């Protein structure tokens, strides 16, 4: 009987000690929510082109060259699961110049049917144009909160630069390239003057 009491008291002691001395457990965030992330496009002839900011529009960039006045590399922070809680920030480390970017949120311009509309950025304080579908992360994939919605690359005619658009249905325009957006960067991506990241 004494052995059983000894085992029981030892188990109780160890349990109490662990409860008092163990470090707090980190509570996991909801699926797909990260503190900060960049977005990359994958599709035909697009192997991880980065989402950049160019004159208020979202742009897909393979290289760090652009004709836009303020093309800047950006990253996102998320305090919740939807694009209403995603904020785009200028990545001063990757951008070769300073821009007055501020904090912006992704904006899916309204469109109808199979037409595509641009993805752009608006000021985070602008509540007048936040009535479009939200963006969500499912693992590393970006989804649009609209049945049948898709992302598309819109060729610009400039090597290494395409526009980013979306549609609530399947786009029938042959010049639009269906893509997926992910938080996963391509392996060994090289940007001129910036090296491998």
In a domain, 163, yes or no: yes
Per-residue pLDDT at 69 = 54
Using H for helix, E for strand and C for coil, what is the string for the chain?
CHHHHHHHHHHHHHHHHHHHHCCCCCCCCCCCCCCEECCEEEECCEEEEEEEEECCEEEEECCCCCCCCCCEEEEEEECCCEHHHEEEEECCCCCCCCCCCCCEEEEECCCCCCCCEEEEEEECCCCCCCCCCCEEEECCEEEECCCCCEEEEEEEEECCEEEEEEECCCCCCCCCEEEEEECCCCCCCEECCCEEC
195 within a domain of the structure (yes/no)? no
Q: pLDDT above 70 covers what percent of the chain?
A: 59
pLDDT digits (tens, 9 = 90+) for 83-135: 557 888 887 665 455 555 677 888 888 876 668 889 998 887 777 666 678 88
Report yes or no on 155 lying in a domain.
Answer: yes
Q: What is the total count of domains within the chain?
A: 1
Q: Is residue 24 part of a domain?
A: no
Q: Note the pTM of the prediction, 2 decimals.
A: 0.71
pLDDT of residue 159: 80
Write out the residue range of the structural domain in which residue 134 sits: 36-186
Q: With respect to residue 2, please indicate whether it lies within any of the assigned structural domains.
A: no
Query: Is there a domain that residue 130 lies in?
Result: yes
Per the model's pLDDT, the better-predicted residue between 115 and 31 turns out to be 115
6 lies in some domain: no
151 inside domain: yes
């Amino acid at each position: 009987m004494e052995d059983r009491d000894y085992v029981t008291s030892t188990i109780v002691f160890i349990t109490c000690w662990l409860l008092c001395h163990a470090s707090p457990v980190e509570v996991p965030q909801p699926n797909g929510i990260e503190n900060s992330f960049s977005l990359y496009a994958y599709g035909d002839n697009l192997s991880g082109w980065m989402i950049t900011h160019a004159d208020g529009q979202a742009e897909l960039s393979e290289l760090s060259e652009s004709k836009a006045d303020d093309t800047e590399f950006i990253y996102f922070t998320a305090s919740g699961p939807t694009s209403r809680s995603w904020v785009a920030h200028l990545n001063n480390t990757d951008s070769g110049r300073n821009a007055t970017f501020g904090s912006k949120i992704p904006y899916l311009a309204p469109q109808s049917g199979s037409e595509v509309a641009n993805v752009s950025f608006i000021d985070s304080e602008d509540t007048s144009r936040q009535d479009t579908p939200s963006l969500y992360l499912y693992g590393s994939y970006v989804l649009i909160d609209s049945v049948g919605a898709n992302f598309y690359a819109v060729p610009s005619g400039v090597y290494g630069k395409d526009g980013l658009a979306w549609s609530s249905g399947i786009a029938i325009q042959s010049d639009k390239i269906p893509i997926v957006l992910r938080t996963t960067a391509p392996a060994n991506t090289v940007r001129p003057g910036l090296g491998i990241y």
